[in-house]
Amino acid sequence: MTTAVTISLNVNGERVEASVLPRLNLADFLRDHLKLTGTHVGCEHGVCGACTVRVNGDIVRSCLLLAVQMHHATVETIEGLSDSGEIADLQSAFRERNALQCGFCTPGMLMAAQDLLKQSPCPDREQIREHLSGNYCRCTGYQAIIDAIETTARARTGRLP
Amino acid sequence: MKASAFAYARATSVANALELLTAHGEGAKVLSGGQSLLPAMNLRLLAPDLIVDIGELAELRGIVVKEGALSIGALTRHADLLKSPEIATHAPLLTDAVAHVAHPAIRNRGTLGGSLAHADPASELPACMLTLGATIIARGPGGERRIAASEFFAGIYETALKPQELLVAVELPVTPKYSTHFFHEFARRHGDYAIVGLAAQAFVRDGRFTDLRLGFFAVGDRPLLARSAGKLVDVAITSAVLSEAFSALDEELDPLDDHQATPAMRRHLAKVLLARCVSSLLGRPDLRMGASA
């Protein structure tokens, strides 16, 4: 029974059928099988947040889900959010505020930030910090990331700085 | 690291899950949200032969209030608990506690049943179950069994569940209208494992506790419902009374030594939490300093 299992899911709007071993996690499935390498793999035990993706609309750790659990699920990765233009303003704010340096954490940061802005359009800095508490950044010291998210929130709600 | 190879079965019903567990015994592990199980497997701390995925058993997910009790399905996710108006009204301690469980992306998958069955001594929800006087409902080949939370946690990652049993639900008495609660934990980063935490519920009348339940976590190999709470009930609280409670609490603690803290540090922080709890619930800022003892 350690044999492959057939799964059918939707990834960034496209139907995907695959045959996967049970031990394969979603992050590796996205990266190695679908070549969607924007999802990064850092700690592989749920601490760093670099592998954050959306499953059925909710952000999750793709290293803590098995690909076999994704049968009939809808998965959105950074490539999907980027291509659809959903987070174009957030990405631009990150760039302008130098909210990324090496970029390793950025896909996960953008996923978590967009999740927060969808749930609460005008978060204060403390709420932003709390929502990003599960995402590590080893370059920026976080201040610029929080600035970029705050700026995006203001712009989206028409409260320009 | 990656998990070692295992076989996978997607349970189609509770009965089907029980059949699989009965057939495979201790070689099988139940996968609900997977937010503790998968890290342990990725780190190769666990290497089950078979994963029984109960994630699609919708009948195990949901919150119902009836006849003075809250019934919460085992697959109810942390995010469901956090957003539930029923939990906010009838078990507000739990709403406060869940906000401290890991991070949003993990709360979206992690489940109440999974957290309790995993029984990490540093977890928030097992301690809340003790404080709230929960009953844990397990189903096995011989039918259903009700286990008091105080009998459920047996050690580090150990519970009263048998390998053939599935935790299906939790029942909590509805929190009485006039009770108050306190929840706090010390952690290196918001959402990280607690170094020490306290989930408390109380009745206060005329500046005294008429009832006080103190559920500590990360102070031993399992959550602790502190008997020393009794020292603070039906008495006027002074710093001397609080000191006595500190000593009694100290006797009950058996903190572990790990990379986060020494046992001495955990003992100290447990006292700090107790002082803050008493001070906050009684509205007595003067008692907050009692922690220097």
* B34 lies within 8 A of chain A by CB: yes
What is the distance in angstroms between the Cα of B31 and the nearest Cα belonging to chain A? 10
Please tell me the predicted confidence (pLDDT) of residue B292.
47
Which of A45, A110, A125, A130 best tests the B interface by mutation, with the highest count of B CBs <10 A?
A: A45
Q: Which residues of A touch B35 (CB under 8 A)?
A: 46, 61, 64
The DSSP output letter for A32 is I
Residue A52 reports pLDDT greater than 80: yes
Whether residue B59 contacts residue B36, with contact meaning beta carbons closer than 8 Å, is answered with: no
**Domains observed in chain B:** 7-53 (3.30.43.10), 63-173 (3.30.465.10), 181-287 (3.30.390.50)
Whether residue B128 contacts residue B95, with contact meaning beta carbons closer than 8 Å, is answered with: no
Which of A58, A68, A134 lies nearest to residue B103, judging by beta carbons? A134
Residue B225 identity? L
Residue B155 identity? G
Q: pLDDT tens-digit profile of B156-178? A: 999 999 999 999 999 999 999 89
Whether residue B129 contacts residue B119, with contact meaning beta carbons closer than 8 Å, is answered with: no
Question: Torsion angle of alpha carbons A90, A91, A97, A102, nearest 10°?
Answer: 140
Of A2 and B24, which is predicted with more confidence?
Answer: B24
Residue A1 reports pLDDT greater than 80: no
Please tell me the predicted confidence (pLDDT) of residue B191.
87
ipTM tops the 0.90 cut: yes
* B46 lies within 8 A of chain A by CB: no
Which of B42, B108, B189 lies nearest to residue A60, judging by beta carbons? B108
Whether residue B115 contacts residue B127, with contact meaning beta carbons closer than 8 Å, is answered with: no
Q: pLDDT tens-digit profile of A78-91? A: 999 999 999 999 99
Whether residue A116 contacts residue A123, with contact meaning beta carbons closer than 8 Å, is answered with: yes
Whether residue B222 contacts residue B197, with contact meaning beta carbons closer than 8 Å, is answered with: no
Please tell me the predicted confidence (pLDDT) of residue B179.
96
Q: B51 in helix, strand or coil?
A: strand
Give chain A's contact residues with B (Cβ, < 8 Å).
1-2, 5, 21-23, 25, 28, 44-46, 49, 52, 58-61, 63-66, 68-69, 71, 112, 115-116, 129-131, 133-135
Please tell me the predicted confidence (pLDDT) of residue B290.
46
Does an H or E element contain B38, and which? helix B37-42
pLDDT along chain B (293 residues), means of 10: 95 97 95 96 95 97 95 98 97 97 97 98 98 98 97 97 97 94 94 95 97 98 98 97 97 95 97 97 85 45
Q: Which residues of A touch B39 (CB under 8 A)?
A: 45-46, 64
Average pLDDT over residues A105-114: 98
Averaged pLDDT of chain A: 96
List, in sequence order, the alpha helices (H) in B72-182: 78-83, 85-90, 92-98, 104-107, 112-118, 124-131, 149-152
Q: Which residues of B touch A2 (CB under 8 A)?
A: 5-7
